[in-house]
Structure formats: structure tokens, C-alpha cells
Chains A and B, each alone.
Chain A
């Protein structure tokens, strides 16, 4: 039993790290189809990684050790986050160590590192991107916490596996209106945090609008590869947080054997395919907001999440 838990824990992290580029490729492919362009290969992100890892890294002469360390720190934070999100099974020994609030902290750590590294070189773009990222971050983080509080309030726990278990164990289908609010808020936070279209465009290098891309302009080769991989992993993590909170069906319970785990992986792939397609649709139908509209967008997300809490308190009383 303990060995299986260890395997599923490690396997979960490896699966997340391995599947994250695939999800990014799938979203890019769906976007291309919707915009009637010829789609890039599903495996393009893997090829990008291989190409980047083969190259020699070029560093600016004034780069400090922080600049070199940041990609590893960011990637490490994202991989740790993947370890405590129950994407395949709820039997995660590490999830007992860190709850969902620590998860938000991990995302914040990654953000701080990447912003510091962007300012480290001292180029205009880097510091501009870092400042914008921090602005988006400080607005998105409370909204994400409020979304999580919705689930905490409902199941009386801050641990993600307990929340999944709470939903799976409930007999019959229970509709929670407050989760509808939280769901909309969560999608808004996901779009903002992963540099998706209403806030940022992952595919552009237009100076005046980019946020995430301008922070990583100075990186090359293996550092860039790690940063890119970490940002794909972040999208994957966010998708999995969404699944645990809103559609936990298919996640294997603690008692599941190896076969159950395999089935859970199939479920996860199916859910990721749907989520990626929905993300591509959202990105295609919406226009990019001016940067000064971003606070409005994110305060809307925050207030929707708070409304969810209020509705929960009203309707369940």
C-alpha cells in the first residue's frame, strides 16, 4: 500500500511534467483550427524543448547568479505544485504536507523568482514585464484564494484530496450554485495567470502588450527551455486544480489498485482534451484587453468568488 502511494506520488509528478507540453501543443492546435490556420504539430512543444536543450546558453555579462538559478527555481516550484494536486489519485503522501494555500504560495514563489530574474539584467523590457506581471499577480492571487475558500467552506478542509473525496463520496448529484460563481472566477484567474488572451497573448512579441514574453527575453537555450516548460506546467497545474474543484469525477480514490490508476489517467486525458479545446475557444472569441482594463477583469473575478461564498452562506443556511 505504501509502495503504491509512493509510486503514484512520483508517477503523478512525472506524468504532469511529461504531459504539460502536450497540453500546450493541443491548445495551440485547437486555436489554429478555430482561426482556420494550418495547425502546428501536437508535438511541437517537445521539439522546441529538444532544440533548446541542445543549444549553448548565452548569458548577459552582468547576469548575477540569481539569473542562472531562477529557471531551476521556477521549474522546481511548478513540479512541487504538481506533486500536491490530486490529478490522478487522491492518495498523495505529499499532499498532507502542503494544503491548497501552500499551493498558492508555490505559485507566488515562482512568480517572484521570474520577476527578479527579469529585472536582474536591467533591460527596459525585462523590468517592464516584471512590473506588469506583479500587478497581474497581486490581483489574481486573492481571487484564486477566494475561489479555493469556496471549496474549503463547502468541505471543511484546505486539503485538495479531501475536497475531491468530499465530492466523490456525496451520494447523488448535488448542484452547488456557489461553485458556479467560483468556476467562472477560476476561469478568469486561469486566463490571467497563464498569460492567456484577454490579459496577455502567449504567441506575440509585440512590445507594448506582452507581459510574460518580455520577462524571458534574455533567456536562451536550457534556461529558456526550463522557463517555457514551467509555464506549460503551470497551465497544466491550473487545469488540474480546476478538475479537483469542479469536475473531480474520474480521479482514483485511495483504495484504487493499479488498474484504477490507469483508468484515472484515461479520464485525466479526456478532461484535459476538453479543457484545452474550451480554452482555445475562449481565446479565439475574446479580444485582448488593454492593460489598464486588467484590474477590472480581475476584480470581477475576485468579486464573483466572494459572491460565491455569500451565496453559499445564504442558500445552505
Chain B
């Protein structure tokens, strides 16, 4: 019925599925605080999958990037975001633009699209994790959807970070990760990005008394 897979591949598939599940719960989540927690969990799953690939493929540099993921995405980023939330005093619900069941249906469509798209590409790859490319693309698209469907600045940044998680997973699953220099660069970029976003949040709130990005669409009168 199906080809026998070894345990490592199966574990990787389970982790990939976990990543997808977390993406979907992020899509359905209303509370910003829970979103940040989910983002941290996504980082944990990402670390585990990277470590697993590193152990199976005996790749030195993947150990480093796993450690980097652990520090940056599980600890540092959520910590900064939670601090920002506390400083800005935003705790309440962030209502999505579209109602959640519709959003989930759109998300499901995106998943089908991503799986279809990945099918021919992954048949060309030779890594142990090639089948998870579809899931990685689905995670990226779902994060995109989350950014589009939310109208608070903080949740959009969380969507952005989730998208980066998806890209990172795509990189590890298809080509055993990017070169170390590139990865370090991206990690630093993200970190700086989050800092700049934090400054932006304060600026936006000072100008408009709200973090709702729809306020940015209106032109100032005077």
C-alpha cells in the first residue's frame, strides 16, 4: 500500500504536520498573547526538525542553525514581542477582518494549492525530507493569509515571523539548509526588523492613538 519509511523520516513528517497544525491554530487564534506563544512553539518544532535533519545527514552547520533557531525564535523573539505588548498595553482580542470559519476554508484552499505546487518539485529532490516541501509552502502561504486578514500591527509582525519560519523549514527540507552566512544574515535581519517594528509601533500609536493599520489609509487633512 505504501512504501516502508524509516523512523527518522516518519518523525520528520510528524514534525512537519505539527508545524502545519500550529499555523492553522495561529490562523484561528484571536488573542495576541496566545499567538506569540504559538509562534514560540513553532520555533520549538523547527528546532527539533532541524536537529533531526542534522543528525541524519551528519551536517555540522545545521547544528549551529538549530541552536540559533532555539535562541532566536523560541526565546528572544517571543520575549521581545511580549515585552512590546506589555509596554504598549495591548492585551485584548484582535479581531480578524473575515470571520474565522471562512478564513479557515481559504486556508484549506491554500494548503491544497501549496501541495499541488510542491508535488512536481519534490519529486526532483533527493533529500530525506523532500515530501515536506508542500507543508513548508503551505506554512508560508498561511502566514501570508494571516498577515492579510489581521489589521493590528503586532499580529501582522507575528505573521511575518511565521512566514520566515516557513521559509526556514522549506530551506532545511529541500536543500539541507542555506549556507551559514546567509542564515546568520537572515537571523540578524529578523532581529533588527523586530526592533524597528517595535519603534514603528510606538510611532504609529503616537500618531493615530491606535495600532489599527486602517488608520494609515486615511490621509491627514492639514
Chain A residues with Cβ below 8 Å from B16 are 177
| A295 at interface, CB cutoff 8 A | yes
Q: Report whether A156 and B20 are in contact in the complex, using a CB–CB cutoff of 8 Å.
A: no
Q: Is the CB of A310 within 8 A of B7?
A: no
List which B24-44 residues lie within 8 A (CB) of chain A: 24, 28
Cβ contact within 8 Å between B104 and A303? yes
Query: B52-60, B107-115, B181-189: which lies at the A interface?
Result: B107-115
* Stretch from A76-84, A178-186, A246-254 at the B interface: A178-186
**A79-104 interface (Cβ within 8 A of B):** none
Whole-angstrom distance between the alpha carbons of A70 and B160 in the complex? 55
Q: How far is the CA of A175 from the CA of B16 in the complex (A)?
A: 12
* Chain B 1-24 per-residue mask, 1 if CB under 8 angstroms from chain A, else 0: 110010100110110111011001
Those of A260-317 within 8 Å (CB) of chain B: 295-296, 299-300, 303-304, 306-307, 310-311, 313-317
Q: Does B47 interact with chain A (Cβ within 8 Å)?
A: no
Check A311 against B135 for contact (C-beta < 8 Å).
yes
**Docked-complex contact B115 and A295, CB < 8 angstroms:** no
Q: Do B104 and A315 have beta carbons less than 8 Å apart?
A: no
Structural contact, B112 and A175, CB atoms closer than 8 A: no
Q: Is A259 an interface residue (CB 8 A)?
A: no
B21 touches A180 (CB 8 A): yes
A310 touches B112 (CB 8 A): yes
Specify which of A175, A184, A295, A314 is in contact with B11 (CB 8 Å cutoff): A175
B18 with A180: CB separation less than 8 A: yes
Which B residues from 109 to 143 make CB contacts under 8 A with A?
A: 111-112, 115, 118-119, 131-132, 134-135
Check B105 for interface membership: any CB of A closer than 8 A: yes
Task: Answer yes or no: B100 CB below 8 A from chain A CBs.
Answer: yes
* Residue pair A311, B112 in contact (C-beta under 8 Å): no
Q: Does B101 contact A (CB under 8 A)?
A: yes
Which of chain A's residues have a CB closer than 8 A to the CB of B132?
Answer: 315
Number of inter-chain CB pairs below 8 Å: 70
The answer to whether A304 touches B17, judged by C-beta atoms less than 8 angstroms apart, is: no
Q: How many residues of A contact B (CB 8 A)?
A: 24
Of all chain A residues, the one with the shortest Cβ separation from B101 is: A299
When the two chains form their complex, are residues A315 and B24 in contact, meaning their CB atoms are under 8 A apart? no
Q: Interface residues of B, CB < 8 Å — how many?
A: 31
In the assembled complex, the Cα of A307 lies from the Cα of B104 at a distance in Å of: 11
Q: A60 on the interface (CB 8 Å rule)?
A: no
Q: Is A173 engaged at the interface, CB distance under 8 Å to the other chain? A: yes
A163 to B41 Cα, complex, angstroms: 32
Contact of A299 among B10, B104, B111, B135 (CB under 8 A): B104
Interface core residue of A177, A299, A316 (most chain B CB under 10 Å) = A177
Partner of A181, one of B17, B107, B118, B134: B17
In whole angstroms, what is the CA distance A174 to B103 when docked?
33
Q: Is the CB of A180 within 8 A of B14?
A: yes
Across the interface, A314 reaches (CB within 8 A) one of B2, B18, B28, B134, namely B134
Q: Are A311 and B17 in contact (CB under 8 A)?
A: yes
Complex CA–CA separation, A177 to B28 (angstroms): 21
Beta-carbon contacts under 8 Å, B53-85 to A: none
Partner of B100, one of A156, A174, A296: A296
Given A296-B28, A311-B20, A177–B13 Cβ distance below 8 Å? yes
Residues from chain A with Cβ under 8 Å of B13 in the complex:
175, 177, 315
Are B10 and A307 interface neighbours, CB within 8 A?
Answer: no
Known: A175-B11, A180-B17. A314 touches B115 (CB 8 A): yes
Task: Note all chain A residues with C-beta closer than 8 A to B1.
Answer: 156
CB pair A304 B21 closer than 8 Å: yes
Most chain A C-beta atoms within 10 Å of own C-beta, residue among B17, B108, B119: B17
Can you list 8 residue pairs at the A/B interface with Cβ under 8 Å?
A173-B7, A175-B11, A180-B14, A296-B101, A299-B104, A300-B104, A303-B105, A315-B132
B: residues with CB less than 8 A from A are 1-2, 5, 7, 10-11, 13-14, 16-18, 20-21, 24, 28, 99-101, 104-105, 107-108, 111-112, 115, 118-119, 131-132, 134-135
B-contacting residues of A (Cβ < 8 Å)?
Answer: 156, 173-175, 177-178, 180-181, 184, 295-296, 299-300, 303-304, 306-307, 310-311, 313-317
